[in-house]
Chain A
Amino acid sequence: MEHFDFIEMKLPAKPEYVGVIRLSVSGIANRMGFTYEDIEDLKVAISEAMTNATTHAYDENEGGEVTVGFGLYRDRLEVMVADHGGSFNLSEVKQETGPYQQSEPIENLREGGFGLFLIDALMDKVEIKSDYGVIVLMTKNLPTNEVGIDDDQISTSQ
């Protein structure tokens, strides 16, 4: 089985902890050797997922918790953000996501509509499960230095 280290954090579902989780992912990704650019992408994506979870908890007026899990693999970082709250209308959230279209009147722009879109744009792989609460599972691959087998651009002849 593929070896990985796992880190789990439980945080109150409150917006003041979004910055804390951002600092945590920054430290983890830095230790793994991610580039500055990738670390910034990770910070935004994880913050968006945490924000969704806290907004949801706030709407429901419950003092919930958000669980964040980090799977540190040799070639990638997997981050799971789980909100074990009550109902969450995923199809509604998905409808509200996407870049601004030129044809769209400004009045129709949704102020909170870009979170999921950004997660998708900034991570390599994103899965969302909503069977019990909402779980966002996202993956960022470490840049590889290995030359592919099919890559014949580098000559090794002596």
Chain B
Amino acid sequence: MNINLSIDVATTDNQTTLTIKGEIDAYTAPLLKEKLLPATAKEAEKIVVDLKDVTYMDSTGLGVFISALKSTKEHGSTLTLVNLQERVHRLFKITSLDSIISIDTTTRGGE
């Protein structure tokens, strides 16, 4: 079990993909914010966040994605979360944030 967080950022034409591994909590969320927010500030940028290897997340993670969503609205970029593990997806459902944050449910992580 790894309670830390690692983030890989890959950039191609107008697309930034963040691949995240580990646990998102009060300690690690600032790192996610630091990597994610600058990408959302690029006009027309398509940001994909791969959460396949995120084994834990709480409201601090939700807060980062809310910040990122606000930033995409300001800058005309888009944000999509992919490969969520069931437990992580559940938090978006409980809080109804899945109605405003784009979540690709065609594939699921952690399996």
Contact = CB atoms under 8 A, between A and B. Distances in A.
Interface stretch (B9-17, B46-54, B61-69): B61-69
Contacts of A111: 63-64, 66-67
B67 A19 contact: no
Q: Which 3 A-B pairs have the closest CB atoms?
A: A19-B3, A111-B63, A15-B26
A130 interface: no
B70 interface: yes
B96 interface: yes
Contact of B58 (A47, A54, A109, A113): A47
A140 interface: no
Contacts of A112: 59-60, 63
Q: How large is the interface on A (under 10, 10 to 19, 20 to 34, 35 or more residues)?
A: 20 to 34
Contacts of B91: 44, 118
B107 interface: no
Q: Is the interface of B mostly helix, strand, loop or mixed?
A: helix
Contact of A114 (B25, B56, B63): B63
Interface stretch (A73-81, A96-104, A141-149): A96-104
A117 interface: yes
Contacts of A115: 58-59
A113 B73 CA distance: 20
A101 B66 CA distance: 14
Nearest to B27: A15
Contacts of A19: 3-4, 23, 25, 27
Contacts of B94: 99, 118, 121-122
B95 interface: yes
Given A106-B100, A121-B94, A51 B3 contact: no
Given A100-B95, A100-B97, A22 B70 contact: no
